[in-house]
Structure 1
Amino acid sequence: MRRTAGTVLAVLAFVVALLAAAAPAGAIVGGVRADAPRAGIGSWQYFRDGHPDWGTCSAHALRTDEDGLTDLLVTGSQCVTVMPGPQSQQVRSMTDEGKARYAQFRAAAEKAGRTAASPERADRPAPGLQSTPEDPATFRFVFNSANRFQGERVGVKRFLVPKEWDWGEKDKRGYVWDLSLVQLEHPIRVKGAIVAPVLDWKTVTTQGWGRDTADPGTWKGPLGPWLRQTDGRVTAHADCAGAGIGADEVCVAPGRNAGAACQGDSGGGGSQELFGTDVLTMLVSRGPQPYCGTVNVYSSIWAHGRWIAEQVRALEPQARVAAVSQSDLRRAAAQHHAAVPAQPDFALAG
């Protein structure tokens, strides 16, 4: 009996070791529970499969008012547009490279079975758009809480999607455009995000309500209630070549705890600390593999600064998106012997 028990224990230990190797302490998989939302992050929720608060992606409130009121969000384009079917004309006309990125978006977006909009809408995009926006009336933004079932809720007035967004097909500059703006039904009181360029030398803190296991076979049912976070680091573009990284994107490698974003974390993410303040620099887009715990591609917000500023000026001429000052950028760059990122893209939003 003692020998049998010892054998069983040894087998169990071996199985546990295998499971640990298959699902590293990562992704917001095995990261840590977040104490509080950073940089204005909140959860996208809608009705699905009998669940009135099915979670899908994240978004960040943008700081536009000194009193803490804002009605503008930034999120991933994949989160707010109708996903075309694999046999749709939109997908059939893509390049092979574009089709590969489209497949990665299908794995990352947590939109399978979506009923927010009728499937045929995907083949008839709005004028000037490669992708059709979802119906904003079906969405709620849930914010000001690490528990997505307990946060404050607000409806959506409109989605502002770049006309260049084409579900993974790059534009002439090599941009993928997985970034959109959202106008809410009314202003909310939240500590919105200050936007900054990517700080290559700084840790990237990713937050989200996405899947907490690495194996896609376990991704069943709605997302969990708790906001989780993990740290990563900016790495070379070449490390994300397998994900078809664009010129407007950043590659982020898992940090010391092997943490990385997972399905359901798209559209949120990527804050970095600058002189004691969390600044928003990037949004989770996708990974090169169908499982989690590897490098991930993030959309650089600063790369789209001019587009953001133009949309905000046209939508709300009095609004200004808060961005880091040029003096802070120079000081930070000098401390780390880095180049100062150009700031004219946010001149209009100051």
Structure 2
Amino acid sequence: MASIRKRTLPSGKAVWLADYVDGAGKRRSKQFIRKADADAFLVLARGQVSAGVHVAESQSVTVGQAADLWLKHVEESGLEHSTVLHYRQHVNEHIRPLVGGLKLTTVTTPRVYAFIDDLKAKGRSAETTRRAVQSLGRIFRFAKGRGLAGINPVADVTMRVSKRGKARPEIPTKEELRAILGAAAGRWRPLIVTAVFTGLRASELRGLRWADVDLKRAVLTVSQRADAWKRIGAPKSEAGTRDVPLAPMVVNTLREWKLACPKGDLDLVFPSGAGQVEHHPNIVNRGWAPIQIEAGVATYEDGTDKEGKPIKIAKAKYNFHSLRHAAASMFIESGMNAKRVQTVMGHSSIQVTFDVYGHLFSDDEADQRAMRAIEERLFS
């Protein structure tokens, strides 16, 4: 049974008290200044009780407390360390300062939109805002599943991130790739050669095992990866586990490299000198960047030498991930269809393939034939 009654406080102030019985049969009440607010609350509460999703405000925890419980849960769920760090950053830098003190039951969809506006006012980028809101939604889903929240107010929030002006990936030209391969030497050469022709992610290259390389069949299998903390784990997604064909140059290079490769318990193809997981910055700073500069694939900035005289300082032109883009572009140019490119690249969906490389699937000759056909049909 539910009711609304007027009550005069000891201070003489009049309030409206909304009484109702929750899902556990316990009587609850909440006071309001206006009767209209009490009426609206009672309608909402009775509906939630009927649906089995009501949580009394007095029993609710704050967003910050729910966030702590959620973070503990994701840590214990075995998610990648980098993912947990990103979630913690979202909570501590964006969610806790702005809505952490609010009780879950008081956060409505309009309040979430206000949270978005607050993030924008603080100069947060559209992508940062989107990720913070996603994490807030995950907190509410977690809390709802454990009876700490009746609803997820983020579920009805719509965010549109404009793709206008999104830059296409930077891809080394064939001339630049030939120069890079010509300059690659020593322990870095087999890594660069493999990256150019397979499109493996840096983490997949760092975690690649000899047991997963079949030089007779000219195929390697991606079955694990090494994260930024040099920990071995599963590929980035289910699609990340895949077979990748090898070009003859890769087969020959790896066959020679296998004889000189540092040995270790991890059986890695591209380990450190001690046979352990190679640190990504070492690959970039000691291998990839110097090789580009040696190959003349560089940009030049104004600087000074030790004597203070003006000089041009060479900077590597591309990041290591550009080799993945280069491989994808060559797959597409060779005639691989989009589905096969998705599989070889280990994309989670074909939409990812089209989002990143869709512009490379163009066929100028076919487009011109189509346009001529359209013109002929119009005037025939």
TM category, shorter = under 0.3
Larger helix percent: 2
Instruction: Give the TM-score normalised by the residue count of structure 1.
Output: 0.24
Larger relative contact order (Cα-Cα within 8 Å, sequence gap ≥ 6): 1
